[in-house]
Structure 1
Amino acid sequence: MSSEPAAVEVKILDKEFMIACPPEEKAGLIEAADYLSSKMREIRSSGKVIGTDRIAIMAALNITHEMLQNRSIDNPNNEKTLERIQKISQQIDLFMDEVE
């Protein structure tokens, strides 16, 4: 039985976002946002990509690449990894909507 979504505040690349999610997924959402933010910080600190939207796209591509590499490996945690990546992808979509 799913609970009603609650607003969760996450911080991605020094910007705060309120995102609705079921209470049982709050920890996963925060972890996904932290992971996305760390990937975006890595890209920003390289100095090769300028602009938040471009940084977000590069982070999405890098995370997707990681997912595809993990998918091809016989990994007993593959299902959990895919779920985590899907959540991260959703967060990227939400972030991109905010940026636009």
Structure 2
Amino acid sequence: MTQAQTQTVTVYILDKEYHIVCPTSERINLERAATYLDGKMREIRRGGKVIGSERIAVLAALNITHELQNKQQQFELLDTVDSQQVRELIAKVSTALEND
């Protein structure tokens, strides 16, 4: 088994520089995630009600987690609906085949 190639990627979040080692294949995803996080943190900071980068980071993490949970719930709901529709279609096909 070969070890995945890694590289150090520099990202900026709230004007601070971070050097993160990641697999070369994940560089673009890491950069996108850092950009997204930076945007969320700047949005909170612009709101002016939260002071301190640690508090801003925690609120950003909570907001992103909330978004993720909502997306997961939507996906699960769609999966349930799709499964139900498939069951209904199979039942209709079975009935049609039995009547033939």
Query: Fold match, TM over 0.5?
Result: yes
Q: CA deviation at 1:5?
A: 1.7
For structure 1, which runs of at least 5 residues remain unmatched after alignment? 76-100
Is 2:76 the partner of 1:72? Answer: no
Question: Paired residue for 2:31?
Answer: 30
Cα distance, 1:40 vs structure 2: 0.1
Q: How far is the alpha carbon of 1:8 from its aligned partner?
A: 0.3
Deviations 1:30-71 (A, max 9, x none): 000000000000000000100000000000000000001001
The residue number in structure 1 matching 2:59 is 58
Query: Structure 1: which 4+ aligned runs deviate by more than 4 Å?
Result: none
State the AA in 1 paired with 2:71.
N
Q: Deviations over 1:52-100 (max 9, x none)?
A: 000000000000000010010027xxxxxxxxxxxxxxxxxxxxxxxxx
- Relative contact order, CA 8 A, sep 6+: which one is greater? 1
Pick the structure with greater CA Rg.
Answer: 2
Q: What's the % identity of the aligned pairs?
A: 51
Q: CA RMSD in A?
A: 1.3
User: TM-score under structure 2 normalisation?
Assistant: 0.71
Aligned residues: 75
State the partner residue of 2:5: 4
